[in-house]
Amino acid sequence: GIQVEQSPPDLILQEGANSTLRCNFSDSVNNLQWFHQNPWGQLINLFYIPSGTKQNGRLSATTVATERYSLLYISSSQTTDSGVYFCAVLSGNTGKLIFGQGTTLQVKP
Amino acid sequence: DVKVTQSSRYLVKRTGEKVFLECVQDMDHENMFWYRQDPGLGLRLIYFSYDVKMKEKGDIPEGYSVSREKKERFSLILESASTNQTSMYLCASSPSRTGAMLRYTFGSGTRLTVV
C-alpha cells in the first residue's frame, strides 16, 4: 500500500517565524489533504490539494504529484498554530485516506 | 457545516468490558470511518462503511466490530476491552469515495482508557 512520510516529526518555533512541513508519498495519488489537529484533539481539514498550489491566509500548500511530495507553509506563525499537522492521501478509489505520522508544531510566544 | 458528533469525550472502562463508541453525522454522508490515533503512529483505520448495514475492515480490525443500522450512525464496538486498546478514537464522514468530494469531517474524538 501507499506509504506516507512526514518531516520533521517535531518543530518548535518562536511566534512570527515561518516554517515548511513536508509530506512524501510512495505512489501516485489523486487526492491529498492536509489536516490540523488542535491541542484538544479536533482535526480540521486545511487543504484538498492533489496538485498545484493553494493559499488560505497565512497557510499555503504545494503538491508536486510527479515527484510525490507536498509542502505546507506556515508564515508568521501564531501560538494558535500549535498542534499536529497531518498529511493524508487517498488509497485507490476505496475512499480510505492513509495518514502520515504527523508533525507536532509548538509555537512559543 | 457538517457536524460529526462522538458520544463521549473521555471514557474509562475495565478490562474485559464490552464498550460501545457512538458516532453520528448530520449531513447524509454515505461514508463513515473509525480511526485510532496513537503517539508516533498517526491515524490508523479500524473499520469503514459505505452504506447502511455495510462494513469493511480497515488496517487494524482485530478486537473491534462495527454496526451501521442507520445512515447517520456508525458504532464501534470493543468486544472485550484490553489495555492495548487505550487510545484516542476518531470518527469521520465523507460524502464521496473519490476525487475532490472525498473531504473528511472528523468528530472531536473519544479518549478511551482501559484499566
Phi, psi at residue B7, to the nearest 5°? -65, -35
A chain contacts of residue B97, beta-carbon cutoff 8 Å: 93-95
Would you give the DSSP letter of residue B100?
Answer: G
Report in angstroms the alpha-carbon separations of A87 from A48, B38, B84, B98: 10, 16, 26, 17
Tell me the three cell numbers of residue B59: 488496517
Domain B4-114 CATH superfamily: Immunoglobulins (2.60.40.10)
pLDDT at B103: 79
**CA of B96 to nearest chain A CA: how many angstroms apart?**
7
pLDDT in tens, chain A (109 residues): 889 999 999 999 999 999 999 999 998 887 899 999 998 889 999 999 989 999 999 999 999 999 999 999 999 999 999 999 999 998 776 778 899 999 999 999 9
Position of cell 443500522?
B69
The CATH number of whichever domain residue A43 belongs to comes to 2.60.40.10
A9 within some domain: yes
A57 within some domain: yes
Taking only the tens place, the pLDDT of each residue in B19-36 is: 999 999 998 899 999 999
Q: Domain coordinates of chain B in residue numbers?
A: 4-114
Does residue B104 contact residue A45 with C-beta atoms inside 8 Å?
yes
Which among A105, A103, A21, A36 is positioned nearest to A69, based on CA atoms? A21
pLDDT at A46: 94
Tell me the three cell numbers of residue B9: 469525550
Taking only the tens place, the pLDDT of each residue in B4-16 is: 999 889 999 999 9
pLDDT at B99 over 80: no
A94 within some domain: yes
The CA distance from B31 to B10, in Å, is 25
The CA distance from B2 to A108, in Å, is 32
Taking only the tens place, the pLDDT of each residue in B43-71 is: 999 999 998 988 999 999 999 999 999 99
Does residue B114 contact residue B99 with C-beta atoms inside 8 Å?
no
The CA distance from B20 to B74, in Å, is 10
A84 within some domain: yes
Report in angstroms the alpha-carbon separations of A21 from A16, A43, B7: 16, 17, 33
B chain contacts of residue A41, beta-carbon cutoff 8 Å: 88, 90, 108-109, 111
Say whether A42 and B109 touch across the interface (CB within 8 A): yes
A90 within some domain: yes
A chain contacts of residue B40, beta-carbon cutoff 8 Å: 101
The CA distance from B6 to A23, in Å, is 29
